[in-house]
A and B are shown apart, each in its own frame.
Chain A
């Protein structure tokens, strides 16, 4: 680093005789960029994501196509698919998650080290898709945090690459060297939980209340009518 205080003579800008030369300001030498540590760390992180593929259905096949040579997720630095959550920082949930599988998924999410991100890939992982039955979780974001959703049944490989680029942007903008950052996400989560854990459990009531919302009759009747069952 060179101090500019002992420069040669006054600088001339556009014909003006004014020279602006505050004393004591650091001037970087040639070919040097100044930035923040957070920014550099995020830049490194976003081009070396290690995905954890949680592929339970046909979305997993599209995910494999993204790994293969035609679409080539390696172009984005995310080709190292690891099957141990301890080595990964990007969870890609591809496919429907049954209620028996949800505790497993939660355990895998907890086993991944910070900082970590999650992509919910396809209609089933995001909303339950066409599998609106007792056994299928209606969207993994009810139980684990999700950063990017991919629509589609199954999504095209290009959509997965787009989601990866969105994650990269999110990492560059939002993360800090400490972790995942984005304080507004924490706020939003707290809001949602407050709604869901309210006295009348509004969210679940809402979801279970309007069973006929798509206009078709549901075999066995809506969810509240189950009183006839004998054990």
Chain B
């Protein structure tokens, strides 16, 4: 476990070394934006990567799970959706972002709930907004939209004003009560 206190802006040398030793070089690629280290991986290797980060590199807090729909994004090649797990090492304050691309027919990822129980609701939100399924999730239901809602509203091909769902209610009259 990496217990050395490092500056959050350092380049995660120890983490990358541990990951390469445990998983092999082909399990992920890296990119950087300012002080952020991003690890790009595939759905099949996501869980191993997360487990290694948690158990061997000290990234013990899952601070965020989110989704992005890159449909029509300028210059985008690769999968349509991307799910990011933001991990934090509470002892060194290091931050690492794991990005996993999933593509369109039936986008599915392994669930992170066995590693962090707190991933439960965050994955439900990603499912609710983007329709990305998490296999082995204990309770994959909609969390924000009503259960009878049929679409995934944060997908880029869903119109901002909906398809009339907000109008689908019976009208109560003054004589009704």
Contacts and interface: CB of A to CB of B under 8 A. Distances in A.
Given A220-B159, A228-B157, A229-B155, A186 B175 contact: yes
B161 A211 contact: yes
Given A100-B145, A135-B145, A180-B174, A223 B169 contact: no
Interface of A: 99-100, 102-103, 106, 109-110, 112, 114, 116, 132-138, 142-145, 180, 185-186, 189, 193, 196, 204, 208, 211, 218-226, 228-231
A100 B146 contact: yes
A175 to B, nearest CB: 12
30 contacts: A99-B146, A99-B169, A100-B145, A109-B172, A110-B176, A110-B177, A116-B177, A133-B160, A133-B161, A133-B162, A134-B163, A134-B166, A137-B169, A143-B171, A143-B172, A144-B172, A145-B172, A145-B174, A189-B174, A204-B164, A208-B164, A218-B159, A220-B160, A223-B161, A223-B162, A224-B159, A226-B157, A228-B157, A230-B104, A231-B152
Nearest to B163: A226
Contacts of B157: 220, 226, 228-230
B108 to A, nearest CB: 14
The 7 closest A-B pairs by CB, nearest first: A134-B162, A229-B157, A228-B157, A100-B146, A99-B166, A223-B159, A145-B174
A112 B177 CA distance: 8
A231 B165 contact: no
A217 B39 CA distance: 35
Given A99-B146, A222-B159, A134 B153 contact: yes
B158 interface: yes
Given A99-B169, A144-B172, 7 more contacts: A110-B177, A134-B160, A134-B166, A208-B164, A223-B161, A224-B159, A231-B152
A193 B161 CA distance: 23
Nearest to A106: B172
A221 B159 contact: yes
Contact of A110 (B160, B161, B167, B172): B172
Contacts of A109: 172, 177
A226 B167 contact: no
Given A138-B166, A208-B164, A223-B164, A229 B172 contact: no
The residue in A109, A116, A134 that gathers the most chain B C-beta atoms within 10 A of its C-beta is A134
Contacts of A231: 131, 151-152
Interface residues of B, number: 31
Contacts of A219: 160
B114 to A, nearest CB: 28
A134 B150 CA distance: 12
B161 A208 contact: yes
Nearest to A145: B174
Interface in B112-165: 131, 144-146, 151-153, 155-165
A110 B144 CA distance: 25
A145 B173 contact: yes
B170 interface: yes
A136 B155 CA distance: 18
Contacts of A230: 104-105, 157
A110 B176 CA distance: 8
